[in-house]
Amino acid sequence: MIRFDGVHKRYPNGREALCGVSFAVDSGEMCFLTGHSGAGKSSILKLIALIERPSRGQVFVNNQNVSGIKRRGISQFRRGIGVVFQDHKLLHDRPVSDNVALPLIVAGVGRSEIDKRVRAALDQVGLLGKEKNRPLELSTGEQQRVGIARAVVAKPALLIADEPTGNLDPDLALETMRLFKRFNDVGVTVVIASHDVHLIDEVGARRIVIDAGRVAAT
């Protein structure tokens, strides 16, 4: 599903975020990228979602070398990936249903199908009945679940999350991780960047430890 071959990433400011990173994640697998802040976890996720491009080395997603994807192909590529962020990245001037529907609208799905799938996604994250609420009317945990519903509504084969529990209390964090596990149980490949070792132990999935831009353990 995902393969990194000797990937380097140097940002324009000269910071070397990744130095020869190599690892692989199989289709249908759930794994955690762990490590201290600044270790390079987020950079790996950005390379997977084509938010950044590697300076050297190759990144394969679904057997496709992402370096070869041209600018106009990026939008189509991203439609196959669900992304969850620590800060949710929700549109606060739109109701929950519109936020969740966004990937489907972008993909040109019909209105009735959008309504059906948005309800199904909100049901999966336990937010059915909150469609009309604005994100700021919801708790932080609920906002995170809206973000997860948006990430899974288009039924992506790959779900990536960057510190999705960073702003949540321990109970909510565990609940959110179990949500990811449920998506993984139905075949979705899940890659989560997190530095919360205890939480990772609770969920029990493979860890790829990143340290100073290198894979320390896999």
Partner 1 sequence: MSLNAYFARHAQTLIGSLGRILQEPLAALMTMAVIAVALALPLFLNLFLQNARAATGNWNEAFDISVYIDKQASESRLQAIAKQLRARDDVATVRTISAEQALAEFREYSGFGKALDALTDNPLPNALIVTPSIVASTPEGTDALKAAIAGITDVQAVQLDSEWVKRLHAMLVILRRVVLLTGGLLGLGVVLIVGNTIRLDILNRRAEIEVMKLVGASDGFARRPFLYSGIWYGVGGGLMALILVAVAAAVLAAPVERLALLYGSEFRLQGLQWAPAVVVVAAAAALGWLGSWLAATRHIRAIEPS
Q: Which residues bind partner 1 (CB under 8 A)?
A: 49, 51, 72, 75-79, 83, 89-91, 102-103, 105-108, 110-111, 150, 154
Q: Which two tokens stand for residue 209?
A: 């430890």
Alpha helix (H) residue ranges in the chain = 41-48, 74-78, 96-106, 111-124, 140-152, 170-185, 197-203
CB-wise, 102 or 120, nearer to partner 1?
Answer: 102
CB-wise, 92 or 178, nearer to partner 1?
Answer: 92
Q: Please report how close the Cβ of residue 20 comes to partner 1 at its closest, in angstroms.
A: 24
Q: Which two tokens stand for residue 211?
A: 């340290």
How far is it, in rounded angstroms, from Cα 99 to Cα 136? 12
How far is it, in rounded angstroms, from Cα 56 to Cα 40? 15
CB-wise, 160 or 215, nearer to partner 1?
Answer: 160
Q: Please report how close the Cβ of residue 136 comes to partner 1 at its closest, in angstroms.
A: 14
With tokens 């510190």, the residue in question is 163
CB-wise, 143 or 215, nearer to partner 1?
Answer: 143
CB-wise, 74 or 172, nearer to partner 1?
Answer: 74
* Parallel/antiparallel/unpaired status of strands 214-217 and 206-211: antiparallel
Question: What is the DSSP track for 16-54?
Answer: EEEEEEEEEE-TT-EEEEE-STTSSHHHHHHHHTTSS--
Nearest alpha carbon to residue 82 among 113, 112, 125, 111: 125
Name the DSSP class of 97.
H
Q: 217: buried, middle or exposed (CB in 10 Å: 19+, 13-18, 0-12)?
A: exposed
CB-wise, 38 or 170, nearer to partner 1?
Answer: 38
